Amino acid sequence: MAERKTILITGGAGFLGSHLCDRLIADGHDVICVDNFFTGAKHNIEHLIGHPSFELIRHDVTFPLYIEVHQIYNLACPASPIHYQHDPVQTTKTSVHGAINMLGLAKRLKCRIFQASTSEVYGDPSVHPQTEAYWGNVNPIGPRSCYDEGKRCAETLFFDYHHQHKLEIKVARIFNTYGPRMHPKDGRVVSNFIVQALQGEPITIYGDGCQTRSFCYVDDLIEGFVRLMNSPSDLTGPVNLGNQSEFTIRQLAEKVIEMTGSRSELISKPLPADDPRQRQPDISLATQKLGWQPATPLAEGLERTIAYFRTLLGA
């Protein structure tokens, strides 16, 4: 087994963070989960409470944290439009001040730090699929800017700390991820469709439904996180992590209706401002450098996710 480490995960009670807690504990490490529970949920990590390798701290990363660890995964930030647009100033502060505080901690400890960045740094892309070399097409003053530009600034800070202070950094750009423990009211397309289908409500499609997304199952993404964190120090990233299989939003809705046995109808609403028309990662770098690619087909991942929401909603 690899050397046992004490690992800090900010946003550790969130959708991705809680799965990462599980994985790292299973790998034999001690995990310190930090969350302010704005979008994280205690039920995501309640099965870990009392585990000898797990510790929970309620804390907001916009304030400094003084702690001793071997590695840091910085995942703290609301990641769905409904949540990050609720308090856009706080969203930007979480990305920027949170990055500064965690980078300062990593600098003091001389430890490796991982940044959960996002495909949103590419904005509404004019390059398809998106490679890490693409600089993006982002509106800096739109309703999504607090998240898009906050994450872009966080990447800048990570690379400036790397260049100026020789800090060991790892930056992952996450594409649409789904799976158990998604928030049922986060407004993301997979959870939206599944919840609406299970409750027999009309399924809401924004625009004509021809916009595309590529959906990566959470277990595959977490595997990518761990491989990137433990890769040679010269691989800083950014590295795209996502599934290259591309589907239209309408195709996803029809698939969810079929798999849930729902009688929900499709209804259309206007497309939100700055909503990307297409999103598909080029994962050549992750495949080449990490030996990583997603392994879970959409139907299999959706089956597990639907089962989770059935239990959660009692549907």
Could you read off the pLDDT of 8-42 as tens digits, one per residue? Answer: 999 999 999 999 999 999 999 999 999 999 889 99
**What local confidence, expressed as pLDDT, does residue 277 receive?**
77
In Å, how far are 70, 176, 188, 309 from 185, measured between CA atoms?
A: 35, 16, 8, 12
**pLDDT tens readout for residues 275-292:** 777 788 999 999 999 999
How high is the pLDDT of residue 109?
A: 98
Does pLDDT of 182 surpass 70? yes
Per-residue confidence (pLDDT) for residue 274, from 0 to 100:
62
Enumerate the domain spans of the chain: 6-181+216-243+280-295
At residue 192 the predicted structure's pLDDT band, cuts being 50, 70 and 90, is very high
Structure tokens at 18: 């809680």
Least confident range of 73-82, 181-190, 234-243: 73-82
Return the active site residues. 147
Q: What pLDDT is recorded for position 207?
A: 86
Task: Give me 270's structure tokens.
Answer: 């206007």
At 20, the amino acid letter reads: L
DSSP character string of 34-59 = EE--SS--HHHHGGGTT-TTEEEEE-
What pLDDT is recorded for position 59? 98
pTM for this entry? 0.94
* CA 51/CA 309 separation, integer angstroms: 25
Query: Confidence band (pLDDT; 50, 70, 90) for 213?
Result: confident
- The chain-wide mean pLDDT, for the chain, equals 94
Contact between 286 and 293 under an 8 Å Cβ cutoff? The reply is: yes
User: Does 3.30.1360.200 match the CATH number of domain 6-181+216-243+280-295?
Assistant: no
pLDDT in tens, 59-100: 999 999 999 999 999 999 987 677 778 789 999 999 999 999
